[in-house]
Amino acid sequence: MRCIRDICFFLLAFTITSRGDIYKDEALKLMSETPLIDGHNDLPWQLRLQFNNELNTKDLHTLGSTHTNIEKIKRGHLSAQFWAAYVPCDSQYKDAVRQTLEQIDVIHRMCNKYPEDFMFASSSQDILDAFANNKTASLIGVEGGHSIDSSMGTLRTMYHLGVRYLTLTHSCNTPWADNWLVDTDSDPKEHNGLSDFGKQLILEMNRLGMLVDLAHVSEQVMNQVLEITKAPIMFSHSSAYSICPHKRNVPDDILIKVKNNNGIVMVNFYNDYVTCSKQANLSHVADHFDHIKKVAGSSVVGFGGDYDGVTRVPTGLEDVSKYPDLVAELLRRGWTADEVKDALGRNLIRVFKAVEMVRDNLNHTAPNDVPIALEQVKNPCRTDYGYSVLPSAAAMPSHNLLILSLTLILSLLTVRLM
């Protein structure tokens, strides 16, 4: 009797294992047909923190102190990655632009140093070309509007350097947008969402062909951007608020608006945004995929792991090599092959192509060159060249006009006396 029971247990275990292998095999098959595109990875920031961007001294094939290295990328079948060019909020009004340019530089140097593994990408077609050549397409997203120092010219310059999305805020307000901490009452509301300059910036991003990233912004900013943008938007690394009510996540009413916008929400793996606690596992992350699909459809969801930007990741998703296990879990939950392919990369490609189409349609529109008002950005670390012009008579205070009048009278009297 015991022997029969042992045989039954063995057969059950074998069946479960075999089914698991079937899901994993199917996941790998789908990932060989459709590029897995992740919306946010902070490896460049780890290169800054740990090595001060001295890339020459490190081997990214085997780097062991990060969630991400080339070997793990290969095992994870990661076909395209938006690398974050991130610098902290305490650089705002100081050297944020310089530091961001250095992060852009280190991403370019990653691609140049490892050309067999990385291909720099700045378009939707580049992603597909890299996939066809078995390389990881490497794109740049600037994480935090403070990185452009309230300058349309800086935004455009970063676009020319290959930046393809801007996260409007990080965890601080900019002079033109409120960040997510406003919704927790940790930061003061300064702009009721976006200022007039902020609204103009969204339209300039549309004109450029730069994706607008709403991760890290206040809910009011989410709503305002979704009302005014001419192109689909993205949440590069945010999860579902209904599953974990953290203000970094996306509420259901916004999910529906993202669907109507034809945008994308790329699910974050940070434990605190997955379960609102320090502990989480792979299944909890899949819950967010399920919820977004239920509310807004499979055409809205994507992967936004936030690897190397967070201190805690779920059990089963310890590093970038684990993506196939999450894909297998979605299949186990009944996701169809088409739905999985949507989430893997087809959704992001569709969004990117739509943003590029808006850019092309606005090709003959002049760049916005109206600067932000000086009083909104004036500080001891900022000069005011270009703002300093002689005031017109209408703008001069009355006592200045009196002095000017007396000066003219004295000049006339002097001429007559001569």
Cα–Cα distances in angstroms (integers) from residue 179 to residues 93, 174, 259, 410, in the given order:
16, 8, 22, 57
How does DSSP classify residue 342?
A: I
The single residue of 77, 146, 191, 237 carrying the catalytic annotation is 237
Rounded alpha-carbon distances, angstroms, from residue 98 to 144, 178, 341? 14, 23, 38
Catalytic residue among 170, 191, 246, 288: 170
108 carries an active-site annotation = no
Please give the C-alpha separations between residue 205 and each of 154, 261, 354, in angstroms, as whole numbers. 12, 16, 13
Q: 153 CB contacts (<8 Å, ≥6 apart)?
A: 369
Per-state percent for the chain, helix, strand, coil, to nearest 5: 50, 15, 35
3-state secondary structure of 195: coil
State the Rg of the chain over Cα. Answer: 26
- The verdict on whether 196 is a catalytic residue reads no
Catalytic residue among 213, 287, 306, 308: 306
309, amino acid identity:
G
Active site residue 216: yes
What does the alpha-carbon distance between residue 151 and residue 169 come to, in Å, rounded to a whole number?
Answer: 14
Q: Which two tokens stand for residue 142?
A: 């600037």
Q: Taking a C-beta distance cutoff of 8 angstroms, is the pair 198, 251 a contact?
A: no
Catalytic member of 143, 213, 290, 339? 143
DSSP one-letter code for 34: S
d(CA 204, CA 202): 5
**Whether residue 306 lies in the annotated active site:** yes
- 42 annotated active-site: yes
Q: How far apart are alpha carbons 120 and 109 in whole angstroms? A: 10
Active site residues: 40, 42, 143, 170, 216, 237, 306
